[in-house]
Amino acid sequence: MNLSKQQIEQFDREGYLFFPGLFNAEETKTLTDAVPELYSRREAYNVREKGSEAVRTNFAAHLYSEPFARLARHPRMVKPVEELFGEKLYMHQFKINGKMAFEGDVWQWHQDFGTWLNDDLMPEPRAMNVAIFLDDVNEFNGPLMFIPGSHKKGVLQAQHDLRTTSYPLWTVDNDLISQLVARAGGKQGGIVSPTGPAGSMILFHSCLVHASTSNLSPWNRVSVYLSLCAVSNHVRRFKRPEYIAHRDFTPIECLPDDCLLKDYPVDLPWKNGMPASAMETSLDEILQAA
């Protein structure tokens, strides 16, 4: 899938592109059918909501689940990002975020590159987020919210929020958010929220400020989030466990476009269990040396 000149200009201006219904119902069902079993696992890579059994985030499914391993190599997702960066990519992070009906908590206002810079020492914001809806997303079930053009501000001042939710984020304070929204148009487009059917896809810049509200509706909002990084821009520090921030910088090689419908062979290095090394960090090495 190639981007048009108009799409490239729109991405530069607004920081995101939305592709409603990019994956058809059969392709999407291949993924959604695999989610309940993944969420049922009592593993470190399943982060649950505060005070709830509902899964907030499942990490690294592409390393142990065939459908998601094939998605991680899908040309409709990988090729546009390669085009924007002009080089090959590796998978920095792979998440299945479960904003479950009545229980899905907020994601505070943040930039993903803020976390990758502070925690992982990623040199530049040459990494892209890809969100793929596994459920229909509407105005009620906690859709993503973006501040268009906020990626142009570069890395913003942020605080490490360890309390609000079960997953810590480097968050942007309310006063700065108010300023960014006003500059982006206030009530006339200062916040946008793409909604659409399951199978829709969003590409968004790693400096684009975004958030989502809690899900008080009776409808789940499960989405896959893949963070694709230019190989030359790989992280320099392993402060976080490998299941959160990956350390394999091998360039992604795409499968054919029908890879969600056919059983192309894929490598599943964690199929028989997550290795102990995936929990080790550079902090452990420092403590051992002390």
Q: Is the confidence at residue 286, as pLDDT, over 60? A: no
Among residues of the chain, what percentage have pLDDT more than 90? 79
pLDDT, position 290 = 37
pLDDT for residue 160 is more than 70: no
Fold of 5-289: Jelly Rolls (2.60.120)
Q: What is the mean pLDDT of the chain?
A: 91
User: Strand order in 201-205's β-sheet?
Assistant: 16-19, 201-205, 127-133, 221-230, 89-99, 55-59, 46-48
Per-residue pLDDT averaged across 133-137, rounded?
97
- Cβ neighbors of 128 (< 8 A, separation 6 or more) are 81, 84, 85, 203, 204, 205, 206, 227, 228, 229
pLDDT (0 to 100) of residue 166? 54
pLDDT, tens digit, 9 for 90 and up, residues 19-49: 999 999 999 999 999 999 999 999 999 998 8
- Give domain limits for the chain: 5-289
Please give the span between the terminal C-alpha atoms of the chain, in angstroms, as a whole number. 51
Give the span between the Cα atoms of 171 and 191, in whole angstroms. Answer: 17
pLDDT at 220 over 60: yes
Segment 236-265, tens digit of pLDDT: 999 999 999 999 999 999 999 999 999 999
Tell me what percent of the residues of the chain surpass a pLDDT of 70: 93
pLDDT of residue 162: 57
pTM value? Answer: 0.91
What does the pLDDT average to over 223-239? 96
